[in-house]
Amino acid sequence: MEINKKQKQQILIRYLNIYLLKKDLKMKNVLRNIVNRIEKNHNISIKQYNSIVKFIERERPFKDLNRDQIYRFFEPLIQTKDRKVVTDGSNLNEFLK
């Protein structure tokens, strides 16, 4: 059974809410911000993902996966910066003759 983006959002929110209940956690603001972004159907940044993957990898469903596999699972929720190629129409053809 394929898990869609909405289900992945719900999975991540569920774990983040569990982490938010921990009284000694020092990064609650980061977690709240991530939850808010996901609830608004926005993607999270790679930096935000990297800050939570250390928690996620300890959870039972992800315990047997490596970080790359976990990343691929949550990839639809992660904002990737597309490289933009800026061209002005010129090229090096005249110099390479």
Distance CA 32, CA 1 (A): 30
In angstroms and rounded to an integer, the radius of gyration of the C-alpha atoms of the chain is 19
The answer to whether the beta carbons of residues 34 and 48 sit under 8 Å apart is yes
pTM summary value? 0.79
CA angle at residue 13 from 27 to 10, to 5 degrees? Answer: 165
Q: Provide the residue-wise pLDDT of the chain in tens; the chain has 97 residues.
A: 688 999 999 999 999 999 999 999 999 999 999 999 999 999 999 999 999 999 999 999 999 999 999 999 999 999 987 544 455 555 666 656 6
